Amino acid sequence: MYKFIDGGVTAPQGFTAQGVCASIKPSNTTKRDLALIYCDTLCNAAAVFTKNLVKSDTIAVTKEHLKNGKAQAVIVNSGNANTCNADGYEKAVRMCEIASDVLGVKAEDVIVASTGVIGEVLPIEPVEKGAEAMRGKLSKDGGTNAAEAIMTTDTVKKEMAMTMTLGGKTVTVGGIAKGSGMIHINMGTMLSFVTTDAAVSAEMLECALKEAVEDSYNMVSVDGDTSTNDTLAIMASGKAGNPEITEKNEDYRVFVEGLTEAFKMLAKKLAADGEGASKLLVCSVSGAKTKQDAVKVSKSIICSSLLKAAMFGADANWGRVLCAIGYSGADVDVTKVGVSFKSAKGTISVCENGAGIPFSEEKAKEILLEKEINIIVTLGDGDQKAEAYGCDLTYDYVKINGDYRT
């Protein structure tokens, strides 16, 4: 029903983008830190945001602009979160005005976002100069520069593109995301911007977005900290020519499924690139009584600092998995629990019916030395399942966050 293709946020029809070095942080002389995404037509649009009570003023401005379900452009900077600042709202509004001038769109049709250090005043002059440098230079090839421009402590760009068939027409979805630390997602991700040429009403777009995040972005945790700036926004140009999705019909279900898989791909990239991480951890839970129980168990395991440290050390300490299940708050019969570890080197069972079983420590270590580890948990209580994404906990996480501001 869908397939992944090369590309990113500019893959769908109508979209172009660019990213430049605006030197928003005085010490930044080479890194791209300002991005613009543009559609040549007004789009239906929707977004979800952080549930942290402390929020960037960019969120307040974007919420106001999306009340009519419309947007045509995105402006986003890295290096400064524009959060907890007396002039934060004013600066966020000004960023939209800057994008409006450069792109020839209405300021109220601009989505704005920021990411970086909290509590430092955002200098607006670099934003003005950087945006001006992109005037007339947005292109289909510029999406990867935009993906780079939203990075902070990320070590790799995170892009995705996919196609699916809706109403007999091929539609494309593209996206970029950033996130490495301060990730314990409870809405979408730190920052992610998604585009599509599907024809979808604003109401159905918002519904689809909220459904798709539940099994994807909302299942990611790197360090247990929910960001102040989390924003996941989507714009739909309608240029694919499919019959517009205005109700929850079969095309809607296909669209939600495609979005979910697209978001899962980006979610895994976020988890794998967690600050200081050396391994991607995927926790697959099955046999739960309810979906909620499966979610609680998988996220509890992926969030356990003890388990994350054990995975860093390639230590098959399955007791830490059981411990995390026990305090997850899920309704679980622990005497039925089974645990296995899996990677490209094979699979090894370490626990059955809530108790340890003999296994080769050498084989387990070989499996756990791989870059992607699947922690497989069977509960034996029902037929519900969930999957969560995280990373190991390394020395470098403390090094990065010990001097993040400086």
Give the residue numbers marked as catalytic. Answer: 189
* C-alpha span between 297 and 342 (Å, rounded): 18
Contacts of 370 (CB under 8 A, 6+ apart): 279, 343, 344, 345
DSSP state of 23: -
Dmax (CA) for the chain in angstroms is 68
Contacts of 379 (CB under 8 A, 6+ apart): 285, 286, 287, 288, 289, 293, 294, 297, 332, 333, 336, 337
DSSP state of 13: T
Q: Cα separations (Å) of 366 from 71, 276, 395? A: 50, 21, 21
* C-alpha span between 123 and 63 (Å, rounded): 23
Phi, psi for residue 389 in degrees, rounded to 5? -125, 135
CB 368 within 8 A of CB 316: yes
Secondary structure class of 12 (helix, strand, coil)? coil
